Amino acid sequence: MSRPIIAITMGDASGIGPEIIMKALARPDVQEMCRPLVVGDAERLRIAGSMVGTSLMVNSLERPDEARYSPGEVECIDLKLIPQDHPFGRVSPVSGEGAFRYIERAVRLVEAGQADAICTAPLSKEALHAAGHKYPGHTELLAELTRTPEVSMMLVSPKLRVIHVTTHIGLIDAIARIEPGLVERVIERAQTTLVKAGIASPRIGVCGINPHAGENGLFGYGEEEQKIAPAVAACRAKGWRVEGPLPADTLFFLAARGDYDMVVAMYHDQGHGPIKVLGLESGVNITVGLPVIRTSVDHGTAFDIAGKGIADEGSLVEALRQAADLAPKHVEA
């Protein structure tokens, strides 16, 4: 059986990332689906392991070829950035720097062929900025590290897939940024991703911006007709099953019941809201368009419960499952 090597970045060390990693790696189903290689701080993982009550032994590694992937053990590329007494539950530039460095190392591992995919635990944008790394989030950071000019955020839950035209910008700025070329490229990334996932002729629904998708100009200033409709027409001309612009409230209902394989959301909250209502614990974030496979939990650092050992690992397990499914298949050594 081929088990891909998944580089798991530890995220913000002050958040729940170390805890959910230790909980997830204690599960036999995770060990069966992949070879997990944590990029983080081994001592922080040991502390988190004690908090969640696992007996897993954490191995501190300098290189990935030192990993044994033995039962009852966690392999960690140990960057040794976090002091042993570093507090949980607080924004810290130390944790922000660590989160950046873990991602940076994971990208280099995949580029060097030493890992097959990346799965990221949550980071704090505030801590990242406090450490001097001015990125809106994981997606933009990964795009720069891989020298990728444009990527899309895709969220996946058991009943819904959503890809975003814009993400971490204000609503007024998002509307200004939306234009037919960008919308068409996002639809194309959705089409390509679904076909690679084995859906030969996917059904893609495209949201409008305004209530009722503008209702023929009654709401808004013609954004649907100017910014979205030309992109939908261009994609339909390629023979793709694309519909829109459609009223977002109705479209998400139809997609959740199975009428569409993907929803194209125009801005952050339009896409994130339905996914999180359907189940925050099972949502997965996938960055589409990178030269590396990257999945992530669809929740934040949860500073309010960090260090208590009670965080749920469900979203991380699903993110690892998606990473294993999307990773290149090869014969396990």
DSSP 201: S
User: Is-contact 17 304, C-beta < 8 A?
Assistant: no
pLDDT at position 280, please? Answer: 58
Residue 250 to residues 134, 157, 207, 230: CA-CA distances in angstroms? Answer: 37, 18, 9, 21
- Judged on CB neighbours under 10 Å (0-12, 13-18, 19+), 308 is middle
Q: How far apart are CA 265 and CA 249, in angstroms?
A: 11
Six-digit token pair at 333?
A: 């050594």
- Partners of 39 in the beta sheet? 9, 77
Q: How far apart are CA 14 and CA 222, in angstroms?
A: 46
Query: Could you tell me if 163 and 141 lie in one domain?
Result: no
pLDDT at position 213, please? Answer: 86
Which residues lie below 8 Å from residue 40, measured CB to CB, with a gap of 6+? 8, 9, 10, 11, 13, 17, 18, 21, 76, 77, 78, 79, 98, 102
> What pLDDT digit, counting tens, does each position of 123-157 carry?
999 999 999 999 888 888 999 999 999 999 999 88
pLDDT at position 1, please? Answer: 52
Query: Could you tell me if 285 and 188 lie in one domain?
Result: yes
User: Is-contact 52 68, C-beta < 8 A?
Assistant: no
Query: Could you tell me if 138 and 94 lie in one domain?
Result: yes
Query: Could you tell me if 176 and 80 lie in one domain?
Result: no
Q: How far apart are CA 187 and CA 263, in angstroms?
A: 9
Six-digit token pair at 297?
A: 């939990």
Query: Could you tell me if 13 and 30 lie in one domain?
Result: yes
Q: How far apart are CA 271 and CA 269, in angstroms?
A: 5
> What pLDDT digit, counting tens, does each position of 56-78 carry?
999 999 999 999 999 999 999 99
Query: Could you tell me if 297 and 160 lie in one domain?
Result: no
Q: Pairing relation of β-strands 73-78 and 203-207?
A: unpaired
Residue 244 to residues 37, 128, 220, 235, 319: CA-CA distances in angstroms? Answer: 42, 37, 16, 11, 29
Query: Could you tell me if 190 and 113 lie in one domain?
Result: no
Q: How far apart are CA 47 and CA 260, in angstroms?
A: 44
User: Is-contact 252 105, C-beta < 8 A?
Assistant: no
Number of domains in the chain: 2
User: Is-contact 168 129, C-beta < 8 A?
Assistant: no
Look up the domain containing 307 and give its range. Answer: 1-148+290-333
| Residue ranges in the chain whose pLDDT is less than 70 | 1, 279-282, 329-333
Taking the alpha carbons of 259, 264, 269, 272 in that order, is the dihedral positive or negative?
positive
From the CA atom positions of the chain, what is the Rg in Å? 20
Q: Which residue has the tokens 């990178």?
A: 290
Query: Could you tell me if 168 and 279 lie in one domain?
Result: yes
Query: Could you tell me if 326 and 210 lie in one domain?
Result: no
Q: What is the CATH number of the domain that holds 53?
A: 3.40.718.10
Query: Could you tell me if 215 and 298 lie in one domain?
Result: no
DSSP 333: -
User: Is-contact 88 307, C-beta < 8 A?
Assistant: yes
Q: Which amino acid appears at position 194 of this protein?
A: L
pLDDT at position 331, please? Answer: 55
Six-digit token pair at 146?
A: 């891989």
DSSP 78: E
Query: Could you tell me if 53 and 122 lie in one domain?
Result: yes
The number of C-alpha atoms within 13 Å of 213 and in the hemisphere containing its C-beta is: 21
Q: How far apart are CA 151 and CA 230, in angstroms?
A: 21
Closest to 324 measured CA to CA, from 122, 119, 160 = 119
Strand segments, DSSP code E, in 44-147 are 57-61, 73-78, 117-120
Query: Could you tell me if 209 and 137 lie in one domain?
Result: no
